[in-house]
């Protein structure tokens, strides 16, 4: 059985940080549509040029485009043992497409991280990412005002100057727009998942460590197994493929 996990929740809920860690600890890829699109913008590719303005306004890129990107990513061999999706699906059409992509791959576990809007605005305004590799400061356990001089994520980041920047879509007005779109387009889609036996909700106001523990517990309970068995599950699947 694969470990297919979808992280749901508003911008700033901590999905990216938790997805990153869960994926690393369980040996499965994290697929973040926001990161994929930001990398495309950064590299100046055709895709990047097509989505730059939409992203800067805090609006959603087209369903067809993003579904194509996710479909391609999830059919690569490293995603067969499972994946952690962050930032997808965001609309009903994307949720339907994901059902279709994963139809033969075992259950998809959906975990919603809930955080009140005012706390989200506060967090996102203070958020910093590495301008070079896109890493989120939170992922290294640092708050924006106590960041190390250099991003430590890649050799390149460690060797060049300070690169922490605010995301161009993290200004207060754009964050409020993103929250509006979240409540209008994405939250109703979560209702689509909430009736499933593999849907879980966790409280995102807890510390990152508590959220991490709650996430592992939620995934294990959705699969009906003790948390300690999760890693064995993925290891077995990878072994079976080798």
Question: Which residues make up the interface to ligand ADP (CB under 6 A)?
Answer: 11, 33-34, 37, 54-55, 58-61, 66, 87-88, 90, 94, 169, 178
Alpha carbons within 13 A on the beta-carbon side of 27: 13
Measure the CA dihedral 56/59/64/66, to 10°: 60
Q: Characterize the bridge pairing of strands 129-130 and 164-165.
A: antiparallel
57 carries an active-site annotation: no
Catalytic residue among 21, 167, 200, 212: 167
Measured from the CB atom, the residue of 94 and 198 that comes closer to ligand ADP is 94
Measured from the CB atom, the residue of 86 and 218 that comes closer to ligand ADP is 86
Q: What angle do CA 140, 144, 147 make, to 5 degrees?
A: 60
167 carries an active-site annotation: yes
Least separation in angstroms between residue 57's CB and ligand ADP is 8
Least separation in angstroms between residue 102's CB and ligand ADP is 15
Q: Characterize the bridge pairing of strands 199-203 and 129-130.
A: unpaired
Catalytic residue among 30, 123, 127, 163: 127
Least separation in angstroms between residue 167's CB and ligand ADP is 8
The pair of structure tokens assigned to 73 is 């990513």
158 carries an active-site annotation: no
């Amino acid at each position: 059985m694969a470990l297919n996990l979808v992280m749901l929740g508003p911008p700033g809920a901590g999905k990216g940080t938790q997805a990153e860690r869960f994926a690393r600890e369980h040996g499965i890829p994290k697929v973040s549509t926001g990161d994929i699109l930001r990398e495309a913008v950064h590299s100046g590719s055709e895709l990047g040029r097509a989505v730059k303005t939409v992203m800067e306004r805090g609006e959603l890129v087209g369903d067809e485009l993003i579904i194509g990107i996710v479909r391609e990513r999830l059919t690569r061999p490293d995603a067969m043992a499972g994946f952690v999706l962050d930032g997808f699906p965001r609309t009903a059409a994307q949720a339907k497409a994901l059902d279709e992509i994963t139809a033969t791959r075992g259950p998809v576990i959906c975990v919603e991280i809930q955080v009140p809007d005012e706390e989200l605005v506060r967090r996102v305004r203070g958020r910093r990412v590495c301008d070079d590799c896109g890493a989120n400061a939170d992922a290294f356990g640092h708050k924006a005002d106590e960041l190390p001089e250099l991003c430590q994520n890649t050799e390149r980041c460690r060797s060049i100057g300070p690169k922490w920047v605010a995301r161009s879509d993290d200004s207060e007005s754009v964050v409020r727009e993103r929250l509006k779109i979240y409540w209008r387009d994405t939250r109703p889609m979560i209702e689509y998942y909430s009736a499933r036996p593999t849907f879980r909700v966790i409280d995102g106001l807890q510390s990152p460590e508590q959220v991490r523990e709650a996430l592992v517990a939620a995934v294990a309970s959705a699969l009906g197994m003790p948390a300690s068995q999760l890693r064995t599950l993925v290891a077995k699947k990878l072994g079976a493929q080798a």
